[in-house]
Structure 1
Amino acid sequence: MAYFRKVQAKNKKGYTWSFTIELGRDSSTGKRKQITRRGFKSKKEAELAAHQMTIDVDNETFVNEEKNILFINFITDHLHIIAEPSVKASTFRGYKSAVEKRLIPKFGHMKIKDLSGKMISTYYNELLKEGLTEEFIQYIHAVLKNASKTAIDWKYIKNDFMNNVKAPRRQKKNVETWSIEECNTFLNRMRDQKDHIFILYYLAIYTGMRRGELLRIK
C-alpha cells in the first residue's frame, strides 16, 4: 500500500509530493519496512512512480539501494559461485584467466555501481590498440555480459552496465594457404623428424584436425 503526502519543497518555494510504500515487517527484527521517495511535481507523477515501484517489488526486480561493492570482490564471487559450477574445468580456467589478467587489473578497484557502458567500450578500444584480436575481445564481452546479469540478479545494481555495449566485429582476414606441392615438400622434410612429429603434421594437413584434437592423440 502506498501513502501520498504534499510537502514543502526544500527551497521552501511551493510544494512537492512524496510517497511511502509499506513492505511489511523485517523477519529478523520485526520492524516495519518502508520505502519513501520525494520531490515529485504532482500527485499524479508520484502515483505513477509508486505504481512502477510496486510492480518491481512484486516481481522481485526492485533495488532499493545499490551496493558499494568493489568489482574485484564481486567478480571473484561470480567466478566461484556462478561460473565454475556451470562450465567444464578447461572452460573455467580460460574464464578465470581472462578475469584475473584483464578485468581485475582494469576495473578491480572500482565499485560495480560506477561501471558504465562508455567505460567498457573505451576499454575494448584500448585492447584493440594493444593488438588483441576481435575474437578475444568478444570473449571478454561475453564474460562481462554474464557478470552484469549476476550483479542484477543479486540486486547489487539497478542498471545493466553492459546494456547497448557492443563487441568489435571480427575483421575478414586474407589467409595464405600452401599448395599441394608445398604441403608435400614440407612433409618430405619432416620425415627426418621423429615419427610422431611427422604424423601430427600429416594429420593436420590432410584431415584439418585442430591443435587440441591433435594433442589428444596418443
Structure 2
Amino acid sequence: MWVGAAYVLMPDGSQRRRPVYGKTADIVREKLTKIQAQSDQGIPAEATGWTMERFLTYWLSDIVTPACKPRTIQGYEVIVRTYLIPQVGKKRLNKLNGVDVRNLLKRVKSTCLCCRHGTDRRRPVESRRCCALGQCCQQTPSARLVQQVHSVLRNALAAAMREELVGRNVAKLAKVSGPTYKVHRGLSADQASHLLKVAADDRLYALYVLALYLGMRRGEILGLRWEDIDFEEGGTHRPAFPPACRRHVDRRHAEDPHLGAHPPPAGADREGSEGASGPAAGRA
C-alpha cells in the first residue's frame, strides 16, 4: 500500500494536509494530482468528519427550520428520523454513493410499515392479528412515500453541495418512478343535468353549478367573494390566490344568462365527459 499527502483547500477556507492511498505509486500520484488541481481551482476538498446523521441533524436545524413552514419541517423531520438516519446515518457524508442510495430506496420500498412502526405490537394482545404474531401483513410503503424519501435525501445532499461538503449529489444518480393515479370517470351531460335538478332546492345549489360549469376545486369555490362575480357580463373572476399557488383559474363566460358558455373540461377526452352544457343555473 502506497501513501502520499498534499496540502489542499478545505471547506472552511483553511489549508490542510490530506493523505491519499493506493495500491501502486502511480495510483497515489494520480490522486495527488487530482486533489491539488481541484485546490488550485478553488474547489475545496470534501469534508471527512461528517456522518450522515450529523449532517441531516444540522440540515434540519440550521437550513430547513429557518426557511420552511412548520408543516414542511415536520414532514422532513419524520422522513429523516424514520428512514434516512436508521438506514444511512452511520455512513460518512463524503462516502455516500449511488449504490447506497439505491439500496436505501430498495429497503424502504420492501419493508413492511407495520413491522417498522410496531403497529400490530401496540394493539391489545387479544387484537393482534399480523406482524406481532409472526405473520407479516406486507404493508409496504406507497410509491409516493418512496419518492418523498428520495426527494428529502436529494434536497439534503443539494444543501451539502452548497455548503461545499461534498462534490456531487449522489441521490440524483438513483431514479425513482412516481406514483400512478387512477383517473376517475367524469359525469356525463345527462348525469350533470340530473344532479342540478335534484339539487335545485339545496342551499348550496350555486356551489354545485360552479363546480360543474367551471371545474373549480372546492377551496376555490368557497374562496369566491362578491367582487369576484360579474353580474353584468355574466361571469366570474378567479379569487386572489397567493403568488406561490400553481393553480390558475381565470375564466369568463358570456353565453349562458348566468354562468355562460364554458370551454371543454380538462378531462373532456375521458369516458363520460362529453363537455355538453347542463341546464341554466340560478344566479350565484
Which bin holds the TM-score, normalised by the shorter protein? 0.5 to 0.7
- Superposed, 1:69-218 pairs within 5 Å as 69=54, 71-81=56-66, 83-84=67-68, 92=69, 95-108=72-85, 110-111=89-90, 113=92, 116-117=100-101, 118-124=103-109, 130=140, 132=142, 134=144, 137-157=146-166, 160-171=169-180, 173-194=182-203, 197-218=204-225
Report whether the alignment pairs 1:52 with 2:31. no
- Which structure would you say has the larger RCO, counting Cα contacts within 8 Å and 6 or more residues apart? 1
Please give the per-residue CA displacement for 1:137-161, whole angstroms capped at 9, x wherever unaligned: 5455433322221123324456634
CA distance 1:176–1:120, shift in 2 (3 Å): same
Distance 2:92 2:194 in 1: 59
Distance 2:141 2:2 in 1: 54
Q: CA deviation at 1:174?
A: 4.4
Indicate the SS of the match to 2:172: coil
Please give the per-residue CA displacement for 1:58-99, whole angstroms capped at 9, x wherever unaligned: 342521414031534433433135x53xxxxxxx45533431
The structure richer in strand per residue is 1
User: Letter of the aligned partner of 1:74 in structure 2?
Assistant: W
Unpaired stretches in structure 2, ≥5 consecutive residues? 114-137, 226-284
User: Aligned-pair RMSD on alpha carbons?
Assistant: 3.6
Q: CA deviation at 1:133?
A: 5.6
Instruction: Show the counterpart of 1:89.
Output: none
Unpaired stretches in structure 1, ≥5 consecutive residues? 1-15, 85-91
Instruction: Show the counterpart of 1:10.
Output: none
Give yes or no for contact 2:6–2:19 (8 Å, CA) kept in 1.
Answer: yes
Distance 2:199 2:61 in 1: 46
CA distance 1:94–1:211, shift in 2 (3 Å): farther
CA distance 1:148–1:172, shift in 2 (3 Å): same
Identity %: 17
Instruction: Show the counterpart of 1:19.
Output: 4
